Structure 1
């Protein structure tokens, strides 16, 4: 048992295994290649956002506006394409807009000392309203533009999944092998000590919030490509954000900063994706999905705090 406890994320892996085995026993279609790729494709947007949030939370930050950033950038991109602008131009505008929105959060958090939770939750509410204004009550369709990126595969793997894996791997490498990643851990561990040790905390925090904004813009492009349209009642917004936060916390990233792994986040994403897919295959009401996400997030947050307390004792 002692050896098992030393395996990274052993509890999360065990829960995932139980859910997979149970669902596979109840549904013949669950373990098929098509369904597995479907699950991974559906969590691709969440994965891109979760990668950025893992790095930010490791540094002690938080951004509850990423899902709303996705809603705005997807709406703006769709509107530009629908009005005849070139798709590459619309994508670049989306990425720049997402980055700018992330930097606004960073500036407010860094220079006003207001809690990131408060700032980004306020920004999320504001951006949800902006998305509604851009839509003006209408669904904006982009036709076949970006269809290949959103729905086609290369060597049997969806393009969106490839992008998500690249982002996750790049984030893991940054956190593990770069000065920037080590600085993020240091800032999350103790910002004051990090500042005294010569780390430019202000520049690092602005860069982190700008990066979460950039990945939000990329997530908006990916979501638009997958759906082919942007609507006022899209899957973006706070509901998307809560799923992303849940995946990151389930993966073991500390809410207080100083600890986080991309591998844990990836496992958290897969767990939530499998649970959602299982509920669908087993004919449960879709209303159970937010219930399951909330329950898993609460359990993970409690387990996170218990693990931190146990580590402090040892």
Structure 2
């Protein structure tokens, strides 16, 4: 056993059970963070760390919903587009005079409704999830631009407590919401019958059906929950930016979410996944993006890095899932 292997094994044993299976991902995160800290004095400052946490909050919310869905063997490529639509709807409702929190609630309901439609198409019409949700994403991408007429729509001082508020005068409200969502999703996945059903469906859907698990209903609820959280992500976006703008959300956000979930170890074929891994994946992508900015590397490398990391994670995911 090499010294590096021995060190990794000691680190694995020293970590809590939820983190020990992600020792490799945690090591990469620490290495990237250490490298950036050595090259930029701004990296470990309070303002920068708070900025990173706010930037990844929306990704974390969407990734929590996708983790639950992918654990059951599903996929939804429309989450970023749902966020784009709901952030535009929220802004337009507020501009039209609707109470800010009522507008936010309506956006959540819209997101859940779109997720429900996706679930019906996939579950009852048996359209391949990739095709169904990609089609939905395309439709919603155009709808998002139509809703705001391709222009920025300012919400003024609305939703300031959510977008710029702080809990205990230190923790951004956006981060509190993201942590609460991820914690709730993690508890649901690990400690509830609903979570166990998701694992069973992802592991072997036919066996789960024969075991009496309500497969169709569970998948329908998962797609609806994913849409609801994407709607919440849209509300968080407009609250943080103070406006709805073209290009916000959409496919790039969706790919970032998928990358975070896959990097976190959730199996593409279903049956395996943890919120701890997803959170680490979100953190890694956030730190990489922040590092690129701080080190003044060409911003185009951000997409290159995202694609490369996703490819490596997908290959690793596939190799992990192969029978030995």
TM-score, normalised on structure 1?
Answer: 0.97
Which residue of structure 1 aligns with residue 17 of structure 2? Answer: none
Give the Cα–Cα distance (whole angstroms) in 1 for the partners of residues 150 and 261 of structure 2: 33
The equivalences for 1:138-287 within 5 A come to: 138-155=151-168, 156-234=170-248, 236-287=249-300
Which residue of structure 2 aligns with residue 33 of structure 1? Answer: 46
Give the Cα–Cα distance (whole angstroms) in 2 for the partners of residues 262 and 116 of structure 1: 22
Partner secondary structure for residue 284 of structure 1: coil
Which residue of structure 2 aligns with residue 292 of structure 1? Answer: 305
The equivalences for 1:71-110 within 5 A come to: 71-110=84-123
State the shift of 1:102 in Å: 0.2
Equivalenced residues, count: 310
Structure 2 gap ranges (5+)? 14-19
State the shift of 1:148 in Å: 2.0
Give the Cα–Cα distance (whole angstroms) in 2 for the partners of residues 233 and 245 of structure 1: 18
Moved over 6 A (4+): none
State the shift of 1:119 in Å: 0.5
State the shift of 1:114 in Å: 1.5
Give the Cα–Cα distance (whole angstroms) in 1 for the partners of residues 121 and 321 of structure 2: 29
The equivalences for 1:302-313 within 5 A come to: 302-309=315-322, 312-313=323-324
State the shift of 1:92 in Å: 1.2
The equivalences for 1:128-143 within 5 A come to: 128-143=141-156
What is the CA RMSD across the aligned residues, in angstroms?
Answer: 1.1
Partner secondary structure for residue 124 of structure 2: helix
